[in-house]
Amino acid sequence: MKTNQTFDVVIVGNGVLGLSLALTLVRRKLRVALVGESNRPWAASTAAGAMLGCFGEVTSTLLKSKYGRLKHEFAVRAVGLWDDWLNELGDGLSIDDIRVADGTVVIHNTVGYSKIDDVNFEAIRKSLIEYNEQFEDINPADVKWLDPDSGSRPAKAIYIPNENAINSIKLLQDLEKSFITYGGTLITDSGIRIESNAGVVDALVLDSGERLISNKIVLAAGVKSQDLLDNIPDVAERIPRLVSGYGVSALVSTKDGTTPNSVIRTPNRAFACGLHLLPRSKGEVYIGATNVISPKVVDAPLIEDVIFLLECAHRQVRKDLSKGNINCIQVGNRPVSLDGFPLLGETDLNGLWIMTGTYRDGLTLSPYLSREMAKLICGEVADSDLEMFKPVRSPIQPLTRDEVIQETVEHMLATGYESDWRIPAGWHNLIEYNLHTEYEKFVKNFDSVYTPPAELLEASTKDRNILKMLYKYYNAVRQSELV
């Protein structure tokens, strides 16, 4: 590569968001460099199923606040763009290879926790009706591929025909091909430092020592965007830090070579995106996914997470999955901000943009976010709703403190139920009461105003690093409010 090349825009990170934005910008005839290692270390995109989950992702908590409703709205808008987005990828690229599932079946079984599963299943139905989205109440016994353990069989199910899934690996390959065809510059390296001059960004320094010159740099390196931000602490301190929503998924060849036609999933539960299984390729299914908040990226799966995932799939979806072959166990790091919402827009350093923090549905959102971010970067009017998720901000607090505590307790209990625990008589209320009291005491001692989202609250009770991050960020926000 030539040294000190100049670009209109440099994008750091070659996951689905970086690639989608790079393609959108290069189609606008800008000179665009996209930086990332070809094996995509720590990426979320490669471990995703990936469901284009919109209504299936709805939870009662999501719809409680304007922020959550707006995120849902983003997903509705994004799903509406996917057909054109895939069609326009380019000649010779096969859309049929990318789209792998025909609709989604949401099952409601008794494995989960009533206060989460019952409520979220109804929230999904209600949202489908509200948006006038096509769906059908079906008898789970009619879903031929389903064959769960009898003790875990679903009592209800709905079929959402327009909620599909894609092969994320194929998508990344095709986005990359298309980017190159349009004249984009792919740089196989890592960005290690951002340089600025007189308050304006002017170069990205690569691991190789090369510098990419541009006054527009976009951080789209998923959870690792934080490493680059940490080199510019004044800019970083009022941006909610990124932590990893570490997740495990598996690719399994089925014993009889069959796969379902659609996604089969539960509602979101136990701090995760619900159990889901979908066809990946001939005779192969994708099983996802766990979600554990971690202060650092994780690159090897924990045995307990693999056991949990496979046990759930075999028990809740199809018994003979246990006779299949594991082709691959995948690990991904979802980019999760400290308030749980995306980071979208320009920072306090002129020309430094961020596009990450998409947590569980960055893949679904990618055509919409890349279109709108491209407009912002080009100085055009974009969807004003993105403003709500501008990166430099006070923590978004969609729920009251009591609601967060209640949600944390319920998801902890749901984790127990999904792990098939047996609670001795008389202990149900005691466990709930003690969890509630512990979390209440914890948040009260921690901060008088701000409360992190449920999964971060739970993680911060166990990991002092997360606690310190929250503390530092809340203090920085307070200091800036005093100025």
Ligand X SMILES: Cc1cc2nc3c(=O)[nH]c(=O)nc-3n(C[C@H](O)[C@H](O)[C@H](O)COP(=O)(O)OP(=O)(O)OC[C@H]3O[C@@H](n4cnc5c(N)ncnc54)[C@H](O)[C@@H]3O)c2cc1C
Where does this chain bind ligand X (CB under 6 A)?
A: 12-18, 35-37, 40-45, 47-51, 53, 190-191, 220-222, 224, 247, 249, 288-289, 332, 334-335, 356, 358-364
Nearer to ligand X, 53 or 409 (CB): 53
Residue 8 has which token pair? 């209109």
Tell me phi and psi for residue 184, to 5 degrees.
-75, 155
CB of 50 to ligand X, least distance (A): 4
Q: Which is nearer to ligand X, 163 or 467 (CB)?
A: 163
Pick between residue 40 and residue 77 the one whose CB is nearest to ligand X: 40
Only one residue has tokens 């997360």, namely: 466
Q: At what angle do helices 401-418 and 428-446 cross, to 10 degrees?
A: 140
Whose structure tokens read 């089925």? 254
Q: Report the helix count and the strand count for the chain, using DSSP H and E.
A: 14, 21
Q: Is 224 left (phi over 0), alpha (psi -120 to 50) or beta?
A: alpha
CB of 60 to ligand X, least distance (A): 20
- Minimum CB distance to ligand X, residue 417 (Å): 21
Q: How far is the CB of 190 from ligand X (least distance, A)?
A: 4
Nearest to ligand X of 301, 452 (CB atom): 301
How many angstroms separate the CA atoms of 127 and 416, rounded?
Answer: 28
Query: Minimal distance in Å, beta carbon 114 to ligand X?
Result: 25
> Please, which residue, 297 or 477, has the CB nearer to ligand X?
297
In whole angstroms, the minimum distance from the beta carbon of 352 to ligand X comes to 14
Residue 67 DSSP class: H
- Minimum Å gap between C-beta 139 and ligand X is 26
Between residues 43 and 285, which has the closer beta carbon with respect to ligand X?
43
Residue whose CB is nearest to ligand X in the complex, by number: 15
Per the CB < 8 A criterion, the answer to whether 265 and 275 are in contact is yes
Nearer to ligand X by C-beta: 95 or 431? 95
CB atoms closer than 10 angstroms to residue 143: 19
Distance, C-alpha 127 to centroid of its chain: 20
Tell me the C-alpha distance between 355 and 342, whole Å: 8
DSSP letter (8 states) at residue 222: G
Positive or negative, the Cα torsion across 347, 376, 200, 9?
Answer: positive
